[in-house]
Structure 1
């Protein structure tokens, strides 16, 4: 069975949608050079009228994509560095995402904002290692965070076909992930539908992005003593609360591993909702970056801020211990 890499999955999903629908086009900086490999070979395949090289003005071409969507096209805007999404935050959250409401439901804005390089990389510095998915979820923008190549393919495909703006973030630490697939595995994945990567009975471990793989590793390491269910929301907003409720209903315990800052991050929202609505035996735990974490230039200091496998395992053991498990 052939292997598919995460980056190749993004490339294939975008290529397949451009083949399928002539209204789909891609724009951004360095499209012709395909620096992220997402658009490799696209200029020759689709031509310069569907692979648009943009000037160094992110606010300008992000608003251009909104106009193109209003005119009946389906733009995919590729950004190469996470802070660029913050630079165009207003264009996405306050313009494109509100236009359907402001037009009384007359005009949708089907734009996909693709960030195939979100999150921490050692030595990238303060402005390159952000993970901004919680911000877009807070503002009600459909936001997806695939952890595997098949989910990257399926969620990007669905995002492009969606009539609303969708932010798609490919975590840096996932880009090298490879998966055995065949053609039948490459199908659209519905937004708002989570995934249980590993079934368990003792504790539900919610993980996002590359931390899904860390969570699975923790579950494997603890398998002889603790049965860990690994829950991947896949879509940060809308979140699959129903599937989480089913999982916590089985386990009664909850740990969240979230690659954003602790204060007001996604982990905080999951814990708050779980405390309000789910049948927890003990208070839930979370593992995240620290409050107000700003990644620096020194790789050693940078790495200290990142959630670790050891922290996740400790949190799992903690909720079991507090509930009297094994006593």
Structure 2
């Protein structure tokens, strides 16, 4: 089984689907000849031609709007928004058109589009290249929201997303793109390891949308998390010695509530961990789900560990991120609660 970085796994997923289905097209800013700012589409234009892999104008609303039209016509666009921070001009197209097309047309038309976009910090990109806006999309009925944490899941989930008949927002954590990450303060992007991150099967396979993964089993406390924070949780577990069960949600919408409930009922404690701002973040929904479904099994209040409620701080981004030390302190406090 070949080993791949997340970038390579994402590229391989698009390659597999483009080889299988002539209706799959890839486009976005700089994704053609250049191969994308993170090189996720490198070599695809040369292999499939500029009629299937091509550059778009710097117009996110136009990128998504044309994809919706293509999808209604029967094409399956896999488009790239260069950074999640750039997706806001396309928000109306996603919410008002893509999310509603199948419903408002009584299934006469669908929007089988996949919107790939890098999210989160860790590359010293500042306020306009480091945001985590996933909760803005989990609130929208008709849109699916996916965030993988490893190459195997990234490839399988991306193939599943491209094959899905509804619009999927596919967030790609930038800190996990190129190499191993131990949950601590990573190195600058120029020094990131280029070594493979995980085993990825060749050819076609899918990871089901809407199914969480038990990343690490445990009995003391459940940590609900996704993306980069999976590895922060793992580091905190190792450092504290607390036997935490780490649930990698993988898909935020649809949400695998059954796996969450099963774990929390077993451990009796729950932490919600994500990089995005705390207030109105997706952790609030997770906390509510646990409170409503597991109240009589809880031995301590549900705890949220998240980014701070402040505009993204460029110079202090490593203080903004939840790290193993902050997660560890909260884990210890939860275990002391009676």
1:207, distance to aligned residue in structure 2 (A): 1.5
TM-score norm. by structure 1 comes to 0.93
Aligned length: 317
Equivalent residue, structure 1, for 2:146? 144
Residue 33 of structure 1 aligns to a residue whose secondary structure is coil
159-168 or 76-85: bigger deviation: 76-85
Listed as ranges, the matches of 1:1-327 within 5 Å are 2-31=2-31, 32-34=33-35, 35-115=37-117, 117-140=118-141, 141-177=143-179, 178-181=196-199, 183=201, 187-223=205-241, 226-278=242-294, 279-291=297-309, 293-297=310-314, 299=315, 301-323=316-338
What are the Cα deviations for residues 259-304 of structure 1, in whole angstroms up to 9, with x where unaligned? 111111011111111111112121111100112x21134x2x2322
CA contact (8 A) 1:153 1:188 kept: yes
CA contact (8 A) 1:144 1:166 kept: yes
CA 1:248–1:7: 2 relative to 1, 3 Å: same
1:183, distance to aligned residue in structure 2 (A): 2.3
CA contact (8 A) 2:151 2:200 kept: no
CA–CA distance in 1 between the matches of 2:169 and 2:123? 24
Residue 69 of structure 2 aligns to a residue whose secondary structure is helix
CA–CA distance in 2 between the matches of 1:252 and 1:214? 21
CA contact (8 A) 1:262 1:288 kept: yes
CA–CA distance in 1 between the matches of 2:198 and 2:121? 26
1:231, distance to aligned residue in structure 2 (A): 0.4
Residue 215 of structure 1 aligns to a residue whose secondary structure is helix
Residue 88 of structure 1 aligns to a residue whose secondary structure is helix
Residue 77 of structure 1 aligns to a residue whose secondary structure is strand
CA–CA distance in 2 between the matches of 1:211 and 1:199? 16
CA 1:30–1:209: 2 relative to 1, 3 Å: same
Residue 99 of structure 2 aligns to a residue whose secondary structure is helix
In structure 2, stretches of 5+ residues that fail to align are 180-195
CA contact (8 A) 1:150 1:186 kept: no
CA–CA distance in 1 between the matches of 2:204 and 2:149? 15
In structure 1, stretches of 5+ residues that fail to align are none
CA–CA distance in 2 between the matches of 1:186 and 1:227? 35
CA contact (8 A) 2:9 2:200 kept: no
CA 1:185–1:196: 2 relative to 1, 3 Å: farther
TM-score norm. by structure 2 comes to 0.90
CA contact (8 A) 1:150 1:185 kept: no
What are the Cα deviations for residues 195-254 of structure 1, in whole angstroms up to 9, with x where unaligned? 00111011001112100011112222233xx21101011001111110000101110100
CA contact (8 A) 1:208 1:259 kept: no
1:3, distance to aligned residue in structure 2 (A): 2.3
CA–CA distance in 2 between the matches of 1:70 and 1:98? 12
CA–CA distance in 1 between the matches of 2:236 and 2:323? 10
1:180, distance to aligned residue in structure 2 (A): 3.5
CA–CA distance in 2 between the matches of 1:180 and 1:79? 25
CA 1:95–1:128: 2 relative to 1, 3 Å: same
Residue 87 of structure 2 aligns to a residue whose secondary structure is helix
What are the Cα deviations for residues 143-177 of structure 1, in whole angstroms up to 9, with x where unaligned? 00000110101111100000000000110111123
